[in-house]
Copies of this chain bind each other. A is one copy, B any other.
Amino acid sequence: MSPRKLTGKPEELAAFVDKFDIFLFDCDGVLWQGGTLLPRAAETLAHLRSLGKKLLFVTNNSTKSRTAYQKVLQDFGIPCSVDEIFCSSYSSAVYISRVLQLQRDKKVYMIGESGMKEELEAEGISYFSDGSGDIMPEDYDTFGPDESVGVVLCGIDRTISYRKLARAYQYLRNPGTVFLATNMDSTYPTNGKLFPGAGSVSAPLTYMTGRPPLSLGKPSQAMMDAIEGVLKFDRKRACMVGDRLDTDIRFGIEGGLGGTLAVLTGVSTEEEILKEGATVVPDVYLDRLCDILG
Contacts and interface: CB of A to CB of B under 8 A. Distances in A.
A143 B195 CA distance: 10
Task: State how many copies of this chain the complex holds.
Answer: 2
Contacts of A143: 193, 195
A162 interface: yes
Interface of A: 132, 134-135, 140-141, 143-144, 157-162, 165-166, 169-170, 173, 186-187, 190-191, 193-197, 199-201, 203-208
Given A186-B207, A203-B206, A158 B162 contact: yes
Given A160-B165, A162-B196, 10 more contacts: A134-B158, A134-B159, A140-B190, A157-B162, A159-B162, A161-B161, A162-B201, A173-B194, A199-B207, A204-B204
A239 B205 CA distance: 35
A164 B160 CA distance: 11
Contact of A166 (B159, B162, B196, B208): B196
Contacts of A199: 207
Contacts of A157: 162
Nearest to A133: B132
10 contacts: A132-B134, A140-B190, A140-B191, A141-B191, A144-B193, A162-B195, A162-B196, A169-B187, A203-B207, A204-B204
